[in-house]
């Protein structure tokens, strides 16, 4: 169940499956020239929260590094009422307008691990445990439907990393009207904010990696950077698709480059129920570290 989506732009080759798998595609690396505002987050400071959840260190909007406090963000049930005050939409840096960002513009040996969530959260426990154990920053791209279906997981992912917006119901946005695209983005944003208390801006990932110039303009105007990827692990294809933990690891390491953005998924494959990405994360982290790479979240992309 894999379909190829022709792209108007050469920057992203979208390879999608139906929203059941909530998977995306692969994209060739596209170098970007722009201000380097990424701060490494490789040396997060552990906290002493009762659950042992470590904090992760994320770059702030000013490009400096701050340690977030997540001592209370453990496994409590999702709050039913969050402060849903939405900040005004801030313009995104000009360097990120009008295209999908498939690599962090940096010469430093840093990698961003990113995880999409749409169909299910079968790999979340494992992924969050690994990230906490290794003190690695990551970002998670959630659909509004996922957040409604798995609110507790969404809250935990917010505590463990940085949330991004992955639309409400994972449609092919170029097939929708402009008003529908806007609703897909703003409704998911409202759901993520209401359930987790986190504003997903400025991080947006197109469902199936499928976008056109109009869609890019719309999400940019809504305060979002379109976050693509340097490499798709293809772990979402599962063992039934001929993939393995080893193939996932090898794809990430083969594509290692300063600013690499790695696309993984939190869910299991709907056919064979494998969670190859989740299973591969420990080896992905170890392999990248052995090659001299550290890890960053994508927070600083919005700081220009």
Q: Rule CB under 5 A: which of 172-191 touch Zn ion?
A: none
Alpha helices in 174-274 (DSSP H): 178-196, 213-221, 245-254
**What is the C-alpha separation between 57 and 54, in angstroms, rounded?**
10
232 belongs to the binding site for Zn ion (CB under 5 A): no
Contact call for residues 118 and 144 (beta carbons, < 8 A):
no
Q: Which residue, 22 or 44, has its beta carbon nearer to Zn ion? A: 22
CB contact set of 210 (below 8 Å; sequence gap of 6+):
5, 7, 14, 16, 172, 173, 174
203 contacts 235 by C-beta, under 8 angstroms: no
Nearer to Zn ion, 116 or 260 (CB): 116
Bridge partners (DSSP) listed for residue 162: 139
The minimum distance between CB 276 and Zn ion, in angstroms, equals 16
**Judged by CB, which is closer to Zn ion: 252, or 263?**
263
Binding mask 18-57 for Zn ion (x = CB under 5 A): ----x-x---------------------------------
- Count, residues near Zn ion per rule CB under 5 A: 4
Residue 179 CB neighbour total at 10 angstroms: 9
Q: Helices 276-290 & 245-254, crossing angle to 10 degrees?
A: 40
Applying CB under 5 A, the span of 4-12, 94-102, 109-117, 255-263 interacting with Zn ion comes to 109-117
Cβ closer to Zn ion: 150 or 293? 150
Q: Does 116 bind Zn ion (CB under 5 A)?
A: yes
Applying CB under 5 A, the residues found at the interface with Zn ion are 22, 24, 116, 118
């Amino acid at each position: 169940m894999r379909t190829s989506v022709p792209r108007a732009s050469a920057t992203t080759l979208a390879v999608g499956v139906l929203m059941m798998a909530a998977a995306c595609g692969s994209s060739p690396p596209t170098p970007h020239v722009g201000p380097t505002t990424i701060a490494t987050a490789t040396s997060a400071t552990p906290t002493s929260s009762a659950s042992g959840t470590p904090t992760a260190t994320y770059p702030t909007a000013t490009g400096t590094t701050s340690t977030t406090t997540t001592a209370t963000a453990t496994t409590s049930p999702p709050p039913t009422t969050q402060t849903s005050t939405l900040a005004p939409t801030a313009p995104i840096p000009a360097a990120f307008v009008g295209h999908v960002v498939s690599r962090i513009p940096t010469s430093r040996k840093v990698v961003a691990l990113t995880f999409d969530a749409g169909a299910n959260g079968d790999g979340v426990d494992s992924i969050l445990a690994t990230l906490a154990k290794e003190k690695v920053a990551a970002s998670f791209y959630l659909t509004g439907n996922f957040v409604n279906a798995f609110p507790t997981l969404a809250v935990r992912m917010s505590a463990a990393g940085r949330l991004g917006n992955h639309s409400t119901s994972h449609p092919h946005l170029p097939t929708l009207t402009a008003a529908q695209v806007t609703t897909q983005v703003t409704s998911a944003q409202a759901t993520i904010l209401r359930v987790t208390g986190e504003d997903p801006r400025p991080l947006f990932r197109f469902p199936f990696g499928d976008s056109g110039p109009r869609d890019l303009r719309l999400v940019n105007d809504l305060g979002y950077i379109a976050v693509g990827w340097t490499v798709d692990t293809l772990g979402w294809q599962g063992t039934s698709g001929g993939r393995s933990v080893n193939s996932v690891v090898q794809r990430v390491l083969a594509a290692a480059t300063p600013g690499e953005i790695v696309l993984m998924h939190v869910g299991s494959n709907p056919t064979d129920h494998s969670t190859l990405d989740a299973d591969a994360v420990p080896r992905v982290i170890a392999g990248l570290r052995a090659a001299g790479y550290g890890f960053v979240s994508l927070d600083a992309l919005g700081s220009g």
